[in-house]
Structure 1
Amino acid sequence: MTTPPLARPPFGRALCAMVTPFTAAGALDLDGAQRLADRLVAEGCDGLVLSGTTGESPTTTDAEKAALVRAVREAVGERASIVAGVGTSDTRHTVELALAAEKAGADGLLVVTPYYSRPPQDAVEAHFREIADASGLPLVLYDIPGRTGTRIEPRTMIRLAEHPRIVAVKDCAYDLLGTQKVLARTELAYYAGCDEQVLALYAVGGAGYVSTVANVAPRQFRAILDAFDSGATADAARLQQRAIPLVELMMASGLPGTVTAKGLLGRLGLPSGPVRPPLRPADEAALDDLMTAYRELTGIK
């Protein structure tokens, strides 16, 4: 029997990048958020990442972000960890959001690389250190250069790992070589942020995943990790491969994951609501394809 790559990942292994439910009028739906959070935890999620990319953080207010953390904490109690997305392109604003999330009851902070301004690596490092110094919560660094325009280079990541409150990475860099270099030299917990890489990263020492597709298929993604941990590596590979058609439709079809996740949740009668502009909802043909892939993966008709 194999053992998990990390015996005690800081926020659990199976994390969902949860959508932020809205009402039909576009207001924050806290009741819906609580019901969705409760379902995700009951279906196998160890933790919930709020106000990330999938959670539409660019279009939610500071007050909405804090209210969402409070509501989800009330719903899940201590059954799951809560990681609050607080990253912005402004260091001062990010610190303010970090302190508000801590006060609201978050267990950790997801902090994305500052975007648009494209700071050099010394400035990226200083940004993360300032946030880690300001709050008492552990940080998950969010490395997603395809959206931010700036990578957290492996050498920078290795230096940041020396900070006692920088404990994890959500890895969307698509650089498995660079990731393994950091894994070999630090104790950072690496979470796959790209659903097609869940098993690959876990097998080389990752901590688990932060999944968008888990909004609709939490049990199926948890099963990949469980199979690997039990020593059934061929089964884990089969389960990962079986999920790929839905992963591709949700994450690589030209529509943002937020759009596809909310559209599919809506079809399933689960809390979601509309997306906020500039995002637009998926059309009916796309939703039909998503439902077909969902049914093939889950066996639910």
Structure 2
Amino acid sequence: MYDGPLFFPVTPFGADGEVDPAVYAEHLESGIAAGPGAVFAACGTGEFHALAPDEHAVLVRTAVRVAAGRLPVFAGAGGPLPTARALARSAAEAGADGLLLMPPYLVRPPQSGLVAYTRQVAQAGGLPLIAYHRDTARLDVATAVEIARLPHVVGIKDGCGDLELLARMITAVETELRPSGKPFRFFNGLPTAEATAPAYRGIGVREYSSASFAFVPEIALAFHRALATGDEALVGRLLAAFYLPLVELRAAVPGYAVSLVKAGVRQRGRAVGGVRPPLTDPTPEHLDRLRVLVDAGLATLATLPESTDR
């Protein structure tokens, strides 16, 4: 489980603007065949924020069917509490293996409210749940410990990037759970997580979301392998050629963390359509820059020995 970059597929929309399950199945199959550690369907890169409940159900059912037990399928759940509970139940009914709990909408709740929110969604789905530490769901150390004690919660995904805080969370959670032996994981959930993966690895966080896996799985896998084997030279080359320029391009427009990924999937031949408002698709200039940096990343791989990049 999780032995590979975590795959966050995009959600394809057809010419009519509706979800296209057939294209989604093709996108999933090609990604799963490449060898990720898990699939996270209808989550951030999959435009969770822009999906109707019935569309969410179609995506999760399709992911479970295509995965066919080959690897875990986690589904996004979140938003207003009744919606989050309904999505958690729907994902369980569809056969999902777990949930990624997205932050609640708009309000910045107190820490006790985040615990109650997590507890109720976890109870509704009855599935292993990863809590997302970001935006309107920023946890302090004591809250992270309290959430980690909840029966169905199996991990925390960090989207804040405060490594000092995260290190304290990890230590406190591990100390709390050690007597029970409860398995628990922390995940790097920053956009373009490869850019920070070496730093996260330094405090013991090895799993990370790989948005790039959706459109350049060969680069994502080579980077993941290089990081795991301590090939610092290759990690540095891929950061310089691909990941750090992608971070720079991503920062050009809000929402590009999703829009660029979807554009990359389109550029590599999958008819997934554009993003739904309020996100916007990349400009022609930014699409050209995306092509250049993808070519640079692939060119870096082309210089490697066969045994290194395969």
Q: Does 1:156 pair with 2:143?
A: yes
Alignment partners' CA distance in 2, 1:186 and 1:222: 30
Q: Secondary structure at the match of 1:66?
A: helix
Alignment partners' CA distance in 2, 1:285 and 1:247: 14
Alignment partners' CA distance in 2, 1:239 and 1:176: 23
Deviations 1:163-210 (A, max 9, x none): 231111221112111111122232531221122212221232113111
1:142 alignment partner in structure 2: 132
Change in Cα spacing, 1:251 to 1:143, as seen in structure 2 (3 Å) is farther
Q: Does 1:116 pair with 2:103?
A: no
Q: Secondary structure at the match of 1:186?
A: helix
Q: Does 1:185 pair with 2:172?
A: yes
AA in 2 matched with 1:200: A
Larger RCO: Structure 1 or Structure 2 (Cα < 8 Å, ≥ 6 residues apart)? 1
Alignment partners' CA distance in 2, 1:164 and 1:231: 35
Deviations 1:63-103 (A, max 9, x none): 11111111122222122221100111x22221111010011
Map residues 1-301 of structure 1 onto 2, 5 A cutoff: 11-88=2-79, 90-145=80-135, 148=136, 150-187=137-174, 188-194=184-190, 195=193, 196-249=195-248, 251-256=250-255, 257-299=257-299
Change in Cα spacing, 1:212 to 1:228, as seen in structure 2 (3 Å) is closer
Deviations 1:221-280 (A, max 9, x none): 233332233343454444444432343155322142221111121122124212112222
Change in Cα spacing, 1:152 to 1:50, as seen in structure 2 (3 Å) is same
What are the ranges of 5 or more consecutive residues in structure 1 without an aligned counterpart? 1-9
What are the ranges of 5 or more consecutive residues in structure 2 without an aligned counterpart? 175-183, 303-310
Alignment partners' CA distance in 2, 1:15 and 1:193: 10
Deviation at 1:293, TM superposition (A): 0.4
Alignment partners' CA distance in 2, 1:63 and 1:173: 30
Give the TM-score, by structure 1 length.
0.88
Q: Secondary structure at the match of 2:197?
A: helix
Deviation at 1:118, TM superposition (A): 1.2
1:7 alignment partner in structure 2: none
**Which stretch of the first structure deviates more once superposed, 95-104 or 194-203?**
194-203
AA in 2 matched with 1:276: R
Percentage of matched positions with identical amino acids: 28
Deviation at 1:26, TM superposition (A): 0.9
**How many residues are aligned here?**
288
Deviation at 1:35, TM superposition (A): 0.7
- Tell me how large the CA RMSD over aligned residues is: 2.1
Contact 1:36 1:271 in 2 (8 A): no
